[in-house]
Amino acid sequence: MTKALTVRTTTGPASPGTHERIRKHRWAIAALPLAAAAALMQVPVAQAVEWQALPETAPAPADNPTTPEKVELGKMLYFDPRLSSTGTVSCFSCHNVMEGGDDHRPTSIGVHDQVGGRNAPTVWNAAFLSVQFWDGRAASLEDQAKGPIANPIEMGMPNLEAAVKRLKQIPGYAPKFKAAFGSKAQISEDTVAKAIAAYERTLITPNSPYDRFVKGDKKALTAQQQKGMRAFADVGCVACHSGPNFSGPSLPVGTGFFMKFPVFADNEMVAKYRVLDDGGKAAVTGKPEDQNMWRVPTLRNLAYTAPYMHNGAVKTLPEAVNMMAVTQLNKTLSEQQIADIVAFLEGLGGEFPEQTMPHLPPTPGDMLE
C-alpha cells in the first residue's frame, strides 16, 4: 500500500516567523564545520516540509510597479539585439522564452562567438529569486538586467552609457519610454533596467501538477510522482530546495540563499563534473568563506533546462539527481528512488504564458558598423 503524504501544505508563502526560523537555521548550518552541517542536512525532514504553490503573480518593488506599458517596452528591449555591440545578441539569445528560458548550451555564446564560463540560468520564475546570477552578485532583476549588456563576453557594450546612447538614436523608442515611465521620462540605465525587469516579472509558470496537488487536487500528481515527493523530502533535498520556487525560502530582495557545492568532495562525481573548477560566490567577493558557495537554483521546469549545474556538465535529470545526492547528502540512491524523484520534478513543470515576438522600431543606417 502506498504510504499517504502527511506533510503540511499551503497555497501561500510561509509566515514571516517561518522565514525567520528558516533563515536562522540556514545561517546556523553555514557557520558549522562542514561535517556537522552535512549531518544536519541528512536529518529526515518530511514532517517539517511546508509545501507551497507558486503565486499567480510575481512581487514587484515599490519603485518599479508592473504596468502593461512597461512590460511592452521591456519585452522589446529583451528581444532587441541592438543592445549588444555587434547588434547580434539579445537577452533572448541566451534566455529563450519560446522554450525553457535558457539556451541549452553548457555555457552561453556571446558577441564574436565568445564562450562564457557558466550555464545560462532560466529566466522563468527568476522573479521569485531573492538574488540573481549563480553567484548572487545582483540583488534584483533590475540589477541583473544591467550586467550582460556591458559584459565583454556576453553583449559586449563598452558600458551602459553606450547602450543608452544607442537607444536614443532609435526614434521609435522615445515615445515607448514616455508611455512606460511618464511624459518627462528619459531613456537611462535605470529605465532600461526597470522595463526589462518588469517584463521578466511576467515570466512565471504557475499551475503545475504539483501546484494543483498542494492546492487540493490529489489526482494532479501520479502515484509515482507522489512517491517521489516523499522521497524528495525524506532524502533531504528540501534542505536546499524549499519554498514555492524550490530555490529556498522566500527572502527579502538582496538576501541570497546560498549553499556550499559540493558539501562532500571525496567522490568521483566532483572530478567527473568539474565541480571545483569554479569558486562560485568567492569569484565575486574574494572571501575564503564564499568558496564554492552558490545561489540555490529553482527546480521548476527542469525538463526544459538541460544541461544542468553552473557549468552545464550534467546532461540528464536522473544524472543530476544522482550526482546531487552524492555530493550534497553523501547518499547513494537506488534506481527506483532516482526515477521517483525525477517523476516528481517533472511534476513541477508549470503553464507557460504565451509569448509573441515584439515589433521593434527601425534601425538608422549608420548605427551599426
Q: Judge if 8-57+205-346 and 68-200 fold alike in CATH terms.
A: yes
Whole-angstrom distance, CA of residue 80 vs CA of residue 73:
11
pLDDT at 46 over 50: no
Catalytic residue, candidates 50, 142, 154, 319:
154
pLDDT-derived band at 44, boundaries 50, 70, 90? very low
User: Could you tell me the CATH superfamily of domain 68-200?
Assistant: Cytochrome c-like domain (1.10.760.10)
Helices (DSSP H) in 150-242: which residue ranges?
Answer: 160-168, 173-181, 189-200, 209-214, 223-235
Whole-angstrom distance, CA of residue 260 vs CA of residue 326:
14
User: Could you tell me the CATH superfamily of domain 8-57+205-346?
Assistant: Cytochrome c-like domain (1.10.760.10)
Closest CA to 73 of 205, 188, 206: 188
- Summarised one tens digit per residue, pLDDT across range 171-197 is 999 999 999 999 999 999 999 999 999
DSSP character string of 81-141: GGGSTTS---HHHHS-TTTTSS-SSSS-B-GGG-B-SS-----TTGGG-SSBSTT--BSSH
**The C-alpha cell that represents 159 in the structure block:** 558600458
Does residue 350 contact residue 215 with C-beta atoms inside 8 Å?
no
Does 154 qualify as catalytic in the annotation?
yes
Burial 63-72 (b: 16+ CB within 10 A, else e): ebebeeebbb
Q: Domain map of the chain by residue range? A: 8-57+205-346, 68-200
The model carries a pTM of 0.89
- Summarised one tens digit per residue, pLDDT across range 296-317 is 999 999 999 999 999 999 999 9
Burial 274-297 (b: 16+ CB within 10 A, else e): ebeebbbbbeebeeeebebbbbbb
- What is the pLDDT, as a whole number, of residue 59? 96
Residue 361 CB neighbour total at 10 angstroms = 16
